[in-house]
Structure 1
Amino acid sequence: MSESKYAEDLALAHLLADIADAISLDRYQSLDLVITTKPDNTPVTDADRAVETAIREALATHRPNDGLLGEEFGSDITGAKRYWVIDPIDGTKNFMRGVPTWATLIALVEVAEDGTQEVVVGIASSPALARRWYASCCEGAYVTFNGQSRKLAVSQVASITDASVAYSDFVGFGTRLKAFNSILSTAWRTRGMGDFWSHMLVAEGAVDIAIEPTLAVWDMAALDIIVREAGGVFTNTSGKHGPFGGSGVSTNKAVHEVLIKALNA
């Protein structure tokens, strides 16, 4: 059996996640955690910066010719045929308050000659939950829990009335808020889980729909390939595929088209 085209890249992503987990878990619930506010009024901790710095240093050693886009320290991807996308701690507000649903998100994007971009490797590592989700192109998606890995598959739920819907909050929906509330009112179950967690539950088949109306590419790149390799669909709220559209919607394939139509009614 031949080795996957992206086996070495996935192995490196796991190494980067191991480095990140060691730093973030050590700083989690620390009494001396340093918290500051960024220009966009979102919080950032010394742990966010330490994790991204460590990942950048490792990539400089192992992949010096690849580009890099990180949440905390900007990007160097101009002209790059492949680049890494890093969110050192997704769920910083949870991290600072002692809520265990936070993760380091790591993704590798390839850029085709025509400029088309595709995520080919993704990891969401959540050490406080003892879980790591990962995927590479055409090789399926998996979750590791307490050292045991299993393959992921999205649900087969085919209608919103039978669906479990996860979301972050009601901020950022704009003109879609009324339609979103209508979706929630007709769904079988709704929970405000938010961040990476809701999308990974879609990949696991535990939740059928996850919606976040305002996201950056580093919030979504790793989630995109994990959901897709689990048999699902990842788009923005307008239905554009991929993590580059400013918002994130994860679903199984059965309910996606109906959901997007309802959200944009």
Structure 2
Amino acid sequence: MPNSSDLTLANRLADAAGAAIRPLFRGQWTEERKDDRSFVTEADRAAESAMRAILESERPEDGIHGEEYGKTREGAARQWVLDPIDGTTSFIAGRPIFGTLIALVQDGWPVLGVIDQPILKERWAGRVGHPTTFNGDVVGCRPCLELSDAVMGATSPHMFGEGDADAFMGLAKGVAERKIVWGGDCYSYGLLASGHMDIVCEADLKLYDFAALVPVVEGAGGIMSDWQGNPLDAQSDGRVLALGDAARLEDVLEAMT
């Protein structure tokens, strides 16, 4: 299980990533497309490099799984999972709703997570067995008495393939009219943990996209699962649900069938 020194280290990683990102935000930087056609910028790579340097120095036995530079010590039981800029398109567009994601995964299970928005200087931190904090203060999800009352978020309609789109639209028809928010990437999960949103439904996520979100949402009293209601781990298929009120999970799963 993670301890206070792990959380202290995760906060230092977030500080280092933010220091690399802030000078480039709305400034001059290079970008290119990766093999999967997604964008990567100079800021993504600088932020991950800064975090990796700290981990290599201070946790040389732990593994590292980063979006930009891949896996190191893949067989280690403890893996630091890094997404230096979750929401690169928002960064490119000058919108401060992207985030740095830092997770500690133990034996395949996310046990610690940080969502850091370095421009607004907003940080959510979650750790198994402890309440989630936002900038140091404890936060919590809000109740949602009916699915039709819910505010739901998703990053983009393009993340839903043919079969996934049908399930998402089934859920969309059940939530409050005109209360579906597009965009936000990891920032939406932080807002859910702080009690401002009720559901996030996404697909085609990688481990570095969702591992940090799980301890944050669940430490705030919410729940995260795959589209079958199973807990998320390193083997999950990337179809992700986050709910602020766990009592609505059966309603959500029913709407998606």
TM-score of Structure 1 vs Structure 2, range by shorter chain: over 0.9
1:185-196 → structure 2 map (5 Å cutoff): 185-188=173-176, 189-196=179-186
**Contact 1:234–1:243 (CA under 8 A) maintained in structure 2:** no
1:255 is aligned, of 245, 248, 257, to 248
Partner of 2:7: 10
**2:24 pairs with 1:27:** yes
**2:223 pairs with 1:236:** no
**2:154 pairs with 1:163:** no
Distance 1:182 1:137 in 2: 32
The one-letter code sitting in structure 2 at the alignment partner of 1:197 is Y
1:92 is aligned, of 83, 88, 94, to 88
**Contact 1:6–1:121 (CA under 8 A) maintained in structure 2:** no
The one-letter code sitting in structure 2 at the alignment partner of 1:50 is A
Q: Which stretches of structure 1, 4 residues or longer, exceed 6 Å deviation after superposition?
A: none
**Contact 2:115–2:187 (CA under 8 A) maintained in structure 1:** no
* Alignment size in residue pairs: 251
After superposition, the C-alpha distances for 1:78-107 in whole angstroms (9 at most, x for unaligned) are 321101000011110110110111111001
Q: CA deviation at 1:167?
A: 1.1
CA RMSD of aligned residues (A): 1.5
Partner of 1:83: 79
Q: CA deviation at 1:5?
A: 5.4
Partner of 1:135: 126
Corresponding residue SS for 1:140:
strand
Corresponding residue SS for 2:255:
helix
Q: Percent identity?
A: 33
1:57-206 → structure 2 map (5 Å cutoff): 57-111=53-107, 117-144=108-135, 149-173=136-160, 174-188=162-176, 189-206=179-196
TM (norm. structure 1) is 0.90
Distance 2:79 2:166 in 1: 38
Distance 1:248 1:186 in 2: 18
Partner of 1:43: 39
**Contact 1:235–1:243 (CA under 8 A) maintained in structure 2:** no
**Contact 1:224–1:243 (CA under 8 A) maintained in structure 2:** no
Corresponding residue SS for 1:128:
coil
Higher relative contact order (CA 8 A, sep 6+): 2
**Contact 2:164–2:203 (CA under 8 A) maintained in structure 1:** no
Q: Identify unmatched segments of 5+ residues in structure 1.
A: 112-116
